[in-house]
Structure formats: structure tokens, C-alpha cells
Structure 1
Amino acid sequence: MPDHPYLAEGARVAIRPHRREDRAEFIRCARDSAGFHRPWLTLPTTEQAYEPFISQLESDDREGFLVCVRETGALAGFININTIVRGAFQCGSIGYGAFAPHSGRGYMSEGLGLVLRHAFGPLGLHRIEINIQPGNKASLRLVKRHGLRLEGFSPDFLYIEGAWRDHERWAITSDMLDDARGE
């Protein structure tokens, strides 16, 4: 079990802040999951690559969360809120990845629900965007399950695995989450 308290707990997973002391476990999970993530995502699989990754998460415009299996504390994945803009915008962009062997079990879906509630609650955000490559069927199912709406298409949006990749732009606002939960 982690030394850090969980920020939020669901039935099977909990989320906690991503910290530097998670380096070895995160790198191991990223290495074990590298084939699973291609071509959708590239994660740090060395200590050298991890340093800029965690340094970014320590900036004021980002929040990094680890999705943990409650029963064991094992890392099931991660969800980062990037490019947080305050003021009149109150928006952030989410990036995430599941870790093998925990993928396909609904852990990331439960974790995303926890992160969305945290984003719209304690973080005070109004809008979250998630950009997904059109061929990433698992991610498309995930955002649809959480009530995000398709807002557009962005050609050559992100440079991943040596190429500029097209992405669909999905978003949810705090009132949409409340509507989806029946509040």
C-alpha cells in the first residue's frame, strides 16, 4: 500500500498524487506496457526520461494522479491533467494510460470518474478536454462511457512515436458530469 493517502476512492480503485518516489515502479510499469501503448502513447522507461516527465507534473499548470488497485495498491495506470488554465477558462487537458496487466478490467474507467470529480470539485475546473487518436477504440469507448462530447478533429495534433498524429477532441464540463450523475 502507498505511503500517500488517497485523494479519492472508488469500489475497486483509488487515485493518489504521482510523486518522485514512484519513479521505479512507474518506470517498471511503463516498460512492461510499452508494446500495449504503441502507437498511442510514449512513456518514460528510463530514469533519464522520467525526470522531465515528473518535473512537468510538478508545475502549477499540471496535476498527476496514479490509479491504484485498492486491494493491492498496484499501479493500474495514470491520469494527468495538463495545461490547466485558470481565470475565465478554468480548463485542463487530460492524458492517461493503463498499465498491463491491469488493462481491460474497468480500472481506468473508475479512475477517470474519480479524477473528473476531483477536477470539477477540489480543483475548481469547469472544462476538461481529452484528445484521442481516431483509431484508439478503447479510449473512445472510455470517454463515451463518461459522457464526453465530440467537439472536433485536429489534424497533426501531437507528435507521438515519430509522427504527427491526428486526434479527435472530446470534452466535458462540470454541469455535464452533474447531469450524467443525476444531480
Structure 2
Amino acid sequence: MPDVRYVTQGTRAAIRRTTREDGAEFVRLARESAAFHRPWLTLPTTERAYLHYIGQLEREDREGFLVCVRETGDIAGFININNIVRGAFQCGSIGYGAFPPAAGQGYMSEGLGLVLRHAFGPLGLHRVEVNIQPGNKVSIGLVKRHGFRLEGFSPDFLYIEGAWRDHERWAMTSDMLDQRTGAG
């Protein structure tokens, strides 16, 4: 049964805002998927870490979404828009992750499409960026399928799992989404 709290929904996936009440479930999923995410990202695996995480998402320059299986409401993953800058820039940086066993089933791909339409629609952003470690072929495939363009390479870009990691910089602007969807 669909959750009435969904921001928007697609055929199989839906997105809703991440809340403090999601803490226990999110922490459980993060613990269960720690090896799956290594070395790509580190998630909050304690209640205290989750409180810090949700506190960051409650800032004005962030939007946090859970990607859910539309029919059941089960959490398939998360997508956050971080570091939103307004004014002449109108840009945000997207971070995401899937939780097994939903990984590889298309929920994150559909969820990313929903988040992009929300970012370029109601949020009014012009540009979104994604930074991905070069070895993360699954994540690179996801952004390529959505029409992101590779814009560069940043050595020692983010500190993850105890080391500074190189990242590729991928981006999309609102007109690129319009071209893909035939809108505009």
C-alpha cells in the first residue's frame, strides 16, 4: 500500500523525505550493508551517528530522500541533495546509496529520476552534481543512464573509509533533463 508521505512516485519506486523516525530502520540497513558500500561511502551505523546525519539533512541547504518500494514502502536506498547554493548558482550535490537486497533491481534508477525531476522542478535548481570514485562502475553507469556528463577528475577529493579518495565529477543541468524527457 503506497505511503501517503511520498513526495512523488513512479511505476515501482517512490521517494519520501528522510525523518528522525527513520533512524532505527536506516541504522539497521546501514549496518547490514556496510561491506556492500565499502569503500564507496560510510553511513551512520549508530543512533548517535544517525542523529548527526539527520541534523545535517534538516539544514536549509540539504534535502534528504528515501527511495522506497512503492507498493510496500520498504526502504530501497537514499538520495540526498547536499550543499544547495541559491542565487546565481542554483546548484546542489547529490549523494546516494542502495540497500541490499533492493540493490540492482532498478529502484535507485527510478528514484534518481524522481529526485532529478523534483530538484529541477519544485526545488528550482538549475544544476546538480555527483562525485563518484572511478572504480565505482555501478554508480557511474547509473548517472550515465540518466544523461549526466563527465566534467572532470579531482584527486584526493573526499575522505572516505580512512583515506582521501579520487573522484570523477559528473553533472546535469535542467535543460539536459528536459531534452531527455521531451519536456520544456
Identify the TM-score tier after normalising by the shorter chain: over 0.9
Give the superposition deviation at 1:27: 0.6
Task: Give the Å deviation of 1:3.
Answer: 6.2
**Where does residue 127 of structure 2 map in the other structure?**
127
* Distance apart, 1:182 and its partner CA: 1.8
8 Å contact kept, 1:149–1:170? yes
What secondary structure, in the 3-state scheme, does the structure 2 residue paired with 1:7 have? strand
1:1-183 to 2 correspondences below 5 Å: 5-183=5-183
1:106-158 superposed Cα distances (whole Å, 9 cap, x missing partner):
11000000000000000000000000000000000000000000000000000
**Unmatched tracts of structure 2, length 5 or more:** none
Deviation above 6 Å: which 4+ runs of structure 1?
none
Percent identical pairs in the alignment equals 78
Q: Tell me how far apart the structure 2 counterparts of residues 63 and 121 of structure 1 sit (CA, whole Å).
A: 14
Task: Indicate conservation of the 8 Å contact 1:133/1:167, yes or no.
Answer: yes
Decide whether the 8 Å contact of 2:129 with 2:172 is kept in 1.
yes
TM-score normalised to structure 1 length: 0.98
> Quick one: distance in 1 between partners of 2:99 and 2:161?
18
The root-mean-square deviation of aligned C-alpha atoms, in Å, is: 1.0
Matched residue pairs, number?
183
Cα distance between partner residues in 1 of 2:3 and 2:179: 35
Which amino acid is 1:166 matched to?
D
Gaps of 5+ in 1: none
The answer on whether the counterparts of 2:2 and 2:71 sit within 8 Å (CA) in structure 1 is: no
The aligned amino acid for 1:9 is Q
Maintained 8 Å contact 1:69/1:75: yes
